[in-house]
Amino acid sequence: MHLNDNEIQRDIYNLILNPSTREWERESLLKVKDRRADVNFSTQLDDIKSDLRPLALRHNLTPDVMDFYLKISGEPQPDSSDKVRLHDEADPPHQERAIFAGGCFWCMVSPFDKRPGITAVISGYTGGEFDNPNYDQVVGQYTGHVEAVEILFDKRLITYQELVDIYWQLIDPTDNMGQIDDRGESYRPVIFVNNDEQRQIAEQSRQAVIDSEIYSKPIVVEISDVTRFWPAENFHQDFYKKNTSRYRKIERTRRLYLSLQHSKNMMRKLFKKVKG
């Protein structure tokens, strides 16, 4: 892969000025920038990769810096800008949007993305009080946002009801302080509705879960009107495709938890029925 000197320098300057860049990341970038007159371009790239690699391997860089590291290291990292751009475009005929929050958005994309009729599943933040939130702010619970996915779908091929049915299979609806290993208010489960029809479907669906008496604890999933949805950084888009092994470990833990919960609840309900 050919890297352009001017483009890399521009990326470095932008990351230095980016308020989301952590201080130690900024210091590493400034150190490399200041040495530009003393070393050649190849050495400069080696210095940056050497500084960033330890935390990149542990996925502990801020998203924009992580994208930059993957760019200069040559590791594959699909650009999701075309998908994110769909968020700002007007919906064509027969397209509708659904927004669900259910814990970490890394695990909320794949189950919807593979269904016929899905145009795009975009990871992002919504339900908060501030504009342009970033990942660290949301996870730090400074903005009131939750991690969520915005689903653009062709309602001729898949219905909103079907999407809601999938949603209930992905979450623990009794936990309003996170989901499985993801703890905190930014991971609470919420269905954000775009119109009266979606609200009616969501509310009827929630009531059906309550009436099923599968869960011994109260169903705490909120149903709220849509607020502005902010697409997340490129690193988080299509995470299940970009970081396959890490995603599989997280998804396996989540699936096992939900499967065990479902089995226990079904056994409890059966026992209660037999005893009654």
CB within 8 Å of 223: residues ≥ 6 apart: 190, 191, 193, 199, 202, 203, 206
- State the Cα–Cα distance between residues 162 and 96, nearest whole angstrom: 13
- State the Cα–Cα distance between residues 228 and 129, nearest whole angstrom: 10
Amino acid at 266: M
Helices (H), the chain: 5-17, 23-34, 41-57, 63-73, 81-88, 110-113, 135-139, 160-170, 196-212, 239-242, 244-275
User: Mean pLDDT throughout 230-237?
Assistant: 90
What pLDDT is attached to residue 37? Answer: 66
Residue 90 has pLDDT above 70, yes or no: yes
CB within 8 Å of 33: residues ≥ 6 apart: 9, 12, 13, 16
User: Mean pLDDT throughout 30-52?
Assistant: 78
| Domains (range + CATH), the chain | 5-73 (1.20.1440), 81-240+246-250 (3.30.1060.10)
Catalytic residue among 56, 104, 164, 221: 104
User: Mean pLDDT throughout 61-69?
Assistant: 83
How many angstroms separate the Cα of 53 from the Cα of each of 29, 122, 126, 168, 246? 13, 28, 31, 39, 17
DSSP secondary-structure letter at 107?
Answer: G
Of the chain, the percentage scoring pLDDT greater than 90 comes to 45
- Strands 222-225, 190-193: pairing kind: parallel
Q: Is 104 a catalytic residue?
A: yes
CB within 8 Å of 258: residues ≥ 6 apart: 169, 170, 171, 172, 180
Residue 78 has pLDDT above 70, yes or no: no
pTM of the complete model beyond 0.85? no
Mean pLDDT, the chain, rounded, equals: 88
The pair of three-digit structure tokens given for residue 252, joined into one six-digit string: 């396996």
- State the Cα–Cα distance between residues 46 and 74, nearest whole angstrom: 12
